[in-house]
Amino acid sequence: MTASDLPFASIETLASLYRKRKVSPVEITKLLLARIDRLNPALNAYLTVTPELALAHAKKAESELFRKSGRDRGPLHGIPVSLKDNIRTKGVRTTAGSRILRDFVPLRDAPVVTRLKTAGAVLLGKTNMHEFAYGVTNVNAHFGPVRNPWDLDRIAGGSSGGSAAAVAAGLCYASVGTDTGGSIRIPASLCGIVGLKPAWGAVNERDVIPLSPTLDCVGPLARSVRDVALVYRIIAGKGMFADAPASRRPELRRLRRFTLGLPVEFFFDVLSPEVQAVFDSALKTLQTLGAKLKKISIPLLHETEEAGNDIAWVEATRYHRQSGWFPSRASEYGEDVRVRLEMGTKVSEAAFLRAMDLRSRFIEQLLSKMAEAHVHALVVPTTPIPAPRLNEEKCRIGGKEHSTRALLLRLNRPANLAGVPALSIPCGFTSDALTAVAGLPVGLQLIGLGSPLEWLLPIAHAFERSQPPISYPNE
C-alpha cells in the first residue's frame, strides 16, 4: 500500500498494518494532519483541528500497541477520527456551528466521546455543521459552507456535512454525527460514503447539543459498511470498546436470501431522472444477491413530513428558549435558523399534540405493515437529487420547482419519526457530465427495525461487496 493510498485505507486494514508494525499511529496521524492542513482550507470540513491532542492520543496508542507488555484496545486503537461539533469534548471548543457558542469549551466529554477514547481512537478535531444542526445544506452563516469533495461548487449536505466531507476526502477514517431528519444520511449520500442513523436511543445522546430530542440520533459515518459497523458497536456499547484485539472483530453475517419492501406511497413520487436510473440499477443488483422485492403500503407516510416539521420546530424553539438564547439573542443566529426558530413559536399546542399522536400511529403502522409483509427492510433512495450547487435553493423535477431543503429532507424524515434505524450506502453515480469527475454520488437508503447489526448492515455489506471500489477525490 502506497502513502497516497493510506488515507483511504479501511479501519480494518490500518489496524492490521499497526499490529504488523508496517506503519504506526503517530505516522498515520501526522499524515492526516498534513492532509487537513493542505485540503481543509478549500473543503472547510473542520472547524477546530486538535494536532497536539491528536499526537498525544497517537503516541499513547503507539506505546500501548508496540510494547510487548502493552495493551490492545481493539480495532479503533490508534485510528484517527473526527466528531461533529455539537458533541461536547472536554477542553476542546464545541461551537455547534454557531456564533453563540463560538468560544464554548466544555468541562466534560459526552459519553460517546468517552467510548471512543476508551477504544483508543485518535481525535483529529471537530467538524463543520449546519448551525445548531438546523439545516441540511451545511451552508453555515458564521463559519462558511462545507464543500463537496466531488465538486467544490456543490454542497456536502447537512447537518453533518463536515463529517461526511472529511471522511470522503481522506481527512479521517470515520466520524460521529447526529441525525434528526437525515443529517447523517443526507451528507453521506451526497458525498458517496456510508452513514448510519441508529434506532432512537441506541447511542447515548447525553451532552450532545440537541435539535429535537424526540427525533435526534447519534451515529457513525465511514467509507465502508464494515467500518460503520465497527464504530457503531463501540459508540453503542455493543462490546469491542476495551481489551478486544482486532483479531476478535465480529463478522457481519452473510445473507443468502432476504426480502426488501418497496413502499407504494410517498418515496417515489418526486425523484430526479438520474437518481431514479441509478436506484433502478441498484435494485437489479440486490435481486442478483438474493433479494426478493415486495411492494408494501404504508398510508401514513404522506403525513410524516408535516408531523416531523411540527415536532422539530416546537422542540428546537423550546430548547433555545430554555437556554436563554432565543429570542434575546436572535440577531446572532443565521437568517435561516432564526426563521425556523420563529416558526416554532407559531405551532399551536394542539398541532404539536396531533403530530405526536401521528408519530405513535405511524410507528404502529410501520411495524405492523413490515411484519405482515415479512420484509427485513425498506429500500428507497436517500435523496431525490444528487448534490445541488451552493446556494441553489430551488430544484426542478418534472417541470416543477421544489425547495432544495425540502427535497433533501423528504425521504429521510420518516425513519426519524418512527425511531427506527436507517442507513445510506453509495449505489452509483449520475451518468451525465455534471462535474469534472465521473458524475455525482447517489445514495441507497435501507430502513429497518431493531438492531442495524441484524439485517441493515449485513444487507448493505452484501450490496457493497457487489460494487466496484470507489476512487475518492484525492486532492
- Residues whose CB is less than 8 angstroms from the CB of residue 133 and which lie 6 or more positions away in sequence, other chains included: 86, 96, 97, 158, 159, 160, 178, 180, 183, 209, 211
pLDDT for position 69: 75
Q: Has 159 been annotated as catalytic?
A: yes
Q: Are 331 and 297 in contact (CB under 8 A)?
A: no
The Cα-based distances of 57 to 80, 167, 287, 336, 341 in angstroms read: 9, 19, 45, 38, 39
Is pLDDT of 244 > 60? no
Which residue matches cell numbers 466529554? 109
| Total structural domains within the chain | 1
Per the structure, the complete domain to which residue 220 belongs is given by 1-301+357-475
Q: Tell whether 328 is covered by a domain.
A: no
pLDDT digits (tens, 9 = 90+) for 144-188: 999 999 999 999 999 999 999 999 999 999 999 999 999 999 999
Q: Tell whether 19 is covered by a domain.
A: yes
Point out the catalytic residue in the list 159, 163, 175, 424.
Answer: 159
- What CATH number is attached to the domain comprising 93? 3.90.1300.10
The set of cell numbers assigned to 418 is 418512527
Torsions phi, psi for 164 (to 5 deg)? -65, -45
Question: Residue 432: which pLDDT band, with cuts at 50, 70 and 90?
Answer: low
Q: How many CA atoms lie within 13 A of 324 on its CB side?
A: 1
Q: What is the mean pLDDT of residues 413-438?
A: 84
- Distance between alpha carbon 464 and the CA centroid of its chain, in Å? 17
- Indicate the DSSP class of residue 115: H
Which residue matches cell numbers 463529517? 163
Q: Tell whether 342 is covered by a domain.
A: no
pLDDT digits (tens, 9 = 90+) for 309-344: 999 999 999 999 999 999 999 999 999 999 999 999
Q: Are 136 and 186 in contact (CB under 8 A)?
A: yes
Give the count of beta carbons closer than 10 Å to the beta carbon of residue 390.
18
Question: Residue 371: which pLDDT band, with cuts at 50, 70 and 90?
Answer: very high
Point out the catalytic residue in the list 24, 82, 84, 197.
Answer: 84
pLDDT digits (tens, 9 = 90+) for 176-198: 999 999 999 999 999 999 999 99
Q: What is the mean pLDDT of residues 215-222?
A: 98
Point out the catalytic residue in the list 175, 183, 212, 272.
Answer: 183
Q: Tell whether 343 is covered by a domain.
A: no
**Rounded CA gap, 137 and 284, in Å?**
31
Using a 10 angstrom Cβ sphere, with 0-12 exposed, 13-18 middle and 19 or more buried, the burial of residue 69 is exposed
Q: Tell whether 283 is covered by a domain.
A: yes
> If DSSP codes are grouped into helix, strand and coil, which group holds residue 315?
helix
pLDDT for position 272: 96
